[in-house]
């Protein structure tokens, strides 16, 4: 009979350096994410998108502003995102992150910056926007009908078993400090608690 598992909270602090390295390994190693938003009537909704990211832990995705998830964000900016490699073997050390925060459509200078960051990760995006060939210009017209959305997580939950141990989840706050007069900000990933799945003690 399988043992019942419980969550054990541990207070051994994890350094920001290790947390940051783990988060950015996941961000750099993946291109797709799942996005959860809140639909009308407090119903859950989920979709998949390609994403780009900045050193300040800002995540960007391109989407049709009339899609349900984008309309959800217009009404309620609360959102969550999960990022992981779906080709991981079941019996290998797991790795992935869950992020929680708020998402908004970019505008003005923020939209220009989002376009640069997104285009840097997906060069075809920038090429199509500047295209002169008729087929590519049609694709560019479709892309221009979309908007780039910016997700600012305030908390991240990390599973990185190779780094932190089996069945161990690191929860960290994302705290931001603006740099200069521009839109850029420095993000500090501050450890909050460690959760470990352990067998329940027998009565």
Q: For the residues 16-26, what does the mean pLDDT come to?
A: 98
What count of other Cβ atoms lies within 10 Å of the Cβ of residue 158?
Answer: 26
Q: Which domains does the chain have, with CATH numbers?
A: 10-193 (2.30.110.10)
pLDDT at 144: 78
pLDDT at 171: 98
pLDDT value at 85 more than 80: yes
pLDDT at 48: 98
Q: For the residues 93-104, what does the mean pLDDT come to?
A: 98
Contact 127/174 with Cβ under 8 angstroms?
A: no
Residue 192: closest CA among 5, 23, 13: 13
pLDDT value at 61 more than 80: yes
pLDDT at 186: 86
Task: Pick the more confident residue, 136 or 115.
Answer: 115
State residue 14 phi and psi, 5-degree precision.
-105, 135
Task: Pick the more confident residue, 118 or 3.
Answer: 118
pLDDT at 2: 66
pLDDT at 97: 98
Q: What percent of the chain has pLDDT over 90?
A: 80
> pLDDT category, 201, cuts 50, 70, 90?
confident
Kindly report which listed range (30-34, 100-104, 121-125) carries the lowest average pLDDT score. Answer: 121-125
Q: For the residues 149-168, what does the mean pLDDT come to?
A: 98
pLDDT at 159: 98
Model's pTM, two decimal places?
Answer: 0.91
pLDDT at 142: 74
């Amino acid at each position: 009979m399988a043992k019942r598992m419980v969550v054990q909270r541990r207070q051994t602090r994890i350094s920001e350096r290790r947390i940051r390295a783990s988060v950015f390994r996941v961000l750099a190693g993946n291109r797709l994410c799942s996005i959860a938003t809140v639909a009308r009537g407090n119903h859950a909704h989920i979709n998949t998108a390609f994403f780009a990211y900045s050193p300040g832990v800002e995540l960007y995705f391109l989407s049709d502003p009339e899609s349900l998830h984008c309309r959800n964000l217009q009404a309620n900016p609360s959102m969550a995102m999960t990022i992981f490699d779906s080709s991981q073997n079941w019996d290998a050390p797991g790795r992935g992150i869950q992020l929680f925060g708020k998402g908004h459509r970019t505008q003005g200078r923020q939209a220009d910056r989002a376009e640069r960051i997104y285009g840097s990760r997906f060069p075809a995006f920038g090429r199509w926007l500047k295209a002169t060939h008729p087929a590519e210009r049609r694709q560019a017209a479709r892309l221009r009908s979309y908007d780039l959305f910016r997700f600012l997580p305030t908390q991240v939950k990390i599973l990185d078993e190779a780094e932190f141990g089996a069945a161990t989840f690191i929860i960290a706050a994302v705290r931001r400090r603006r740099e200069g007069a521009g839109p850029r900000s420095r993000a500090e990933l501050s450890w909050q608690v460690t959760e470990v799945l352990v067998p329940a003690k027998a009565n």
